[in-house]
Structure 1
Amino acid sequence: MANNINILLLDDEILALSYLKDTISDVINNNKTLFGSTIYSTTNQTEFWDILAKTLPKIIFLDIQMPRKTGIEIAEEIHRKKENIGYKNQNFPIIIFTTAYDTYGYQAFKVNAFDYILKPIDEDNVLKVFNKILDTYDSFLRTDKETITVHSSGIDIEIPLNDILYFKADMKYIAVITEKKEFLINTTLLILEEKYSQFVKIHRAYLVNPLYFSKFYKRDNHWFLSIKNHEQSLPVSRRQKLEIEKKIDYKLII
């Protein structure tokens, strides 16, 4: 993993911001993988957008309760504008909220937040978040340049694995589902499961990219997994439910 990660912090309270910056600095300076990362911080929302555009931070910490716009509103705006800002990978930036209240969990994950930390900030909690981020980065880097070939409109197309939301068994073929398109390939789910171990089997017909896990919920006595950037929720089999609970963040379980 590269050690030149840009991290951006926004909090309207200068003391809280300073403490968060110092805490993150301690964490990254004691981690050989994170060592060398650059931390930017501001209490000003206008300056925040300037720094964001210039540095394209992969990790952003947002306070939720702020004047002008809340952290939730800013996160929504980032997601709307990130392609125009310059983000080429839809998995970034990773957003972590900081808040003095534990009632924002649903709102946080509704805007695809990676996690949130309760104030007062505790170094152990910050460390846990960065360990989760490192796990996500490991998965990202392992598949960053890996692609799968599909045949479409008479030509072969290379699709990065990180752009694939999930694979779906579809009669004699496998549907490759991305955010914008769907392709068919001639293989089996078992072969894909063995080849791409980072994907998670949730049902005999579905193999899902964990980068896109959104919510895990129960409805009418059946379990479902909602997927980021995708309207349709996917069924989870009883056999796979326990396995998913081991791999999914407990805050995503509703």
Structure 2
Amino acid sequence: MNTPTPLTNAPRAVLADDERLMREQLRARLAEVWPELQIVAEARNGLEAVQLVNEHRPEIVFLDIRMPGLTGVEAARQITQLPPRAGEDDELLPEIVFITAYDQYAVEAFEQGVADYVLKPAERERLQVTVQRIQQRLAARNAPAGTVDAPPGPNMQQLLHQLSARLNPGGTPNYLQWIQATVGQAIQMIPVDEVLFFISDEKYTRVQTAQVEALIRKPIKELVDEVDPRVFWQIHRSTLVNVKAIAGVTRDFRGRQIVSVKGHGEKLEVSRSYTGLFKGM
């Protein structure tokens, strides 16, 4: 269900919930606390949510955790890995707000991840807190790098890992242990825990260890789901870094955060969507 074209510069959102009454209630509450917000589309399941976000590229996405097709967690994984369109800012990802019925374990994971969530039914007071956080983050996007401190955003991969574990307590993640990569003319097996960082271009992903530089064809959007998010942090759409390999974080003359890597001269840029990982730098 689509709405008229949004006003210029007005923040835009996609709502996703398989219950029509819940969508209507959230839309009404948002109109009260954030009248400028434009609801550009509404999704009835997770697959539709990903498609509509890809089509409209909103600044905010409200995702019900339990939906058919794809759960909110699975949809969020796909949304955060959508490739930018030509001319789009490659650094910015939509703000994601999860909608959930009261679930103690899920709420604990949200709180630990400093993420935004809305309990069903959406209450005006709690929704206002979420709206204020998002407004501050959106304002920081339009400010020169390093000049405005936004509320820290979640490490989305870690948060999604926590939520998956909470919602599926019987499931055990099976993370990659080895990478089969091309080194020169040879194929080599590289232990994942030796990897300093992964960085992708349009065709290949570079696998960098202290001694070896190798190439694989697996893109970052797939690696994100296959490596342990407690070990590898995504700091850019195209970059995953081993937390143990981070020597420090500084700012360059443009105010961008730059990660230094232990035992390697590479400097890795942190995109604005991930600056909350290094709050205070």
Pairwise CA RMSD? 4.1
- Compared CA separation, residues 144 and 51, structure 1 to 2 (3 A): farther
Question: 2: distance between equivalents of 1:98 and 1:65?
Answer: 9
Question: 2: distance between equivalents of 1:41 and 1:19?
Answer: 13
TM-score between the two structures when normalised by the length of structure 1: 0.52
- Compared CA separation, residues 113 and 48, structure 1 to 2 (3 A): farther
Aligned to 1:64: 65
Q: Give the match's secondary structure for 1:66.
A: coil
Question: 1: distance between equivalents of 2:30 and 2:15?
Answer: 10
Structure with the larger helix share: 1
Aligned counterpart in structure 2 of residue 182 of structure 1, from 251, 256, 267: 267
Note the 1:68-217 alignment, pairs <5 A: 68-83=69-84, 88-100=89-101, 101-105=103-107, 114-143=115-144, 167-168=249-250, 177=258, 182=267, 212-214=275-277
Which residues of structure 1 form unaligned runs of 5+? Answer: 30-34, 147-161, 170-174, 184-208, 215-226, 228-233, 235-243, 245-254
- Structure 2 contact 46–72 (Cα < 8 Å) conserved: no
Using CA pairs below 8 Å that are at least 6 residues apart, which structure has the higher relative contact order?
2
Deviation track 1:112-162 (CA, whole Å, cap 9, x = no partner) reads: 88411222210111111111111112222222698xxxxxxxxxxxxxxx9
- Structure 2 contact 15–63 (Cα < 8 Å) conserved: yes
- Structure 2 contact 13–38 (Cα < 8 Å) conserved: yes
Q: Give the match's secondary structure for 1:117.
A: strand
Which residues of structure 2 form unaligned runs of 5+? Answer: 1-7, 148-234, 237-245
The ranges of structure 1 where at least 4 consecutive aligned residues each deviate by more than 6 angstroms after the TM superposition are none
- Compared CA separation, residues 14 and 176, structure 1 to 2 (3 A): closer
Q: Give the match's secondary structure for 2:142.
A: helix
TM-score between the two structures when normalised by the length of structure 2: 0.48
Deviation track 1:160-179 (CA, whole Å, cap 9, x = no partner) reads: xx98x98449xxxxx95159
- Compared CA separation, residues 36 and 116, structure 1 to 2 (3 A): closer
Aligned to 2:195: none
